[in-house]
Structure 1
Amino acid sequence: MSFEKDARGRDGLSHLRGNPNTSIAGVATFALGRLADAPLQYMIFTEGWAVKGLTAVGLRASNLLITAGPGVAGLGPVPTLLTGMYAVAGLRHAYWILFTSSHYFPADASLSVVGYNTLLSTINTLVAAHALTSSPYPILGSFTDCIGWKQWAGLALFGVGIVMEMVAEEGRRAFKRDARNRGKIDDTGLWSVVRHPNYLGYTLWRAGITLATGSLPATAILTAFQLAGFYTRSIPGIGGYMSAKYGPEWTDYKRRVPYALIPGVL
Structure 2
Amino acid sequence: MSAPSQRGFSPSTLISRSTFVFFRAITLPFQYAILTSGPLAVSLVRRLGGTPIPPTVGHPLHLLGLNTGLSVQRAIFFGMVVGSVMKQSYWAMFISREKLSVGASALVGVLQTVGDGLNVVLFTNTATSALAYSAIDGEKTAFSVPFIVGLGMYALGIVSEWGSEMQRSRFKKDPKNEGRLYTRGLFGLARHINYGGYVLWRAGFALAAAGWTWGAIMGSLGIWKFVNSAIPELDDYCSKRYNEQWAQYKKAVPYKLFPFIL
TM-score, normalising length from structure 1?
0.83
Is residue 160 of structure 1 aligned with residue 156 of structure 2? Answer: yes
Point out the more displaced range, 195-204 or 122-131: 122-131
Is residue 36 of structure 1 aligned with residue 34 of structure 2? Answer: no
More strand by share: 2
For residues 193 and 113 of structure 1, what CA distance do their matches in structure 2 show? 29
**Structure 1 pair 137–171 and aligned structure 2 pair: CA distance change class (3 A):** same
For residues 124 and 53 of structure 2, what CA distance do their matches in structure 1 show? 8
Is residue 137 of structure 1 aligned with residue 135 of structure 2? Answer: yes
Point out the more displaced range, 131-140 or 213-222: 131-140
For residues 67 and 42 of structure 1, what CA distance do their matches in structure 2 show? 16
For residues 3 and 112 of structure 2, what CA distance do their matches in structure 1 show? 17
* Conservation of the 8 A alpha-carbon contact between 2:171 and 2:182: yes
Partner residue, 2:60:
70
CA shift for structure 1 position 43: 2.7
**Paired-residue identity, %:** 28
Name which of 141, 160, 173 aligns with 1:177. 173
* Conservation of the 8 A alpha-carbon contact between 1:161 and 1:203: yes
CA shift for structure 1 position 36: 2.2
For residues 187 and 34 of structure 1, what CA distance do their matches in structure 2 show? 31
Partner residue, 2:220:
224
Partner residue, 1:109:
104
* Conservation of the 8 A alpha-carbon contact between 2:10 and 2:97: yes
For the residue of structure 1 that corresponds to 2:203, the secondary structure is: helix
Of structures 1 and 2, the one with the larger relative CO (CA 8 A, separation 6+) is: 1
> RMSD of aligned C-alpha atoms?
2.5
For residues 16 and 57 of structure 2, what CA distance do their matches in structure 1 show? 36
What are the within-5 Å matches in structure 2 for residues 117-266 of structure 1?
A: 117-130=112-125, 131-132=128-129, 134-138=132-136, 146-266=142-262
* Conservation of the 8 A alpha-carbon contact between 2:33 and 2:41: no
**Structure 1 pair 111–13 and aligned structure 2 pair: CA distance change class (3 A):** farther
CA shift for structure 1 position 67: 6.2
Structure 1: state its 5+ residue gaps. Answer: 1-10
Point out the more displaced range, 241-250 or 25-34: 241-250
TM-score, normalising length from structure 2?
0.84
Structure 2: state its 5+ residue gaps. Answer: 62-66
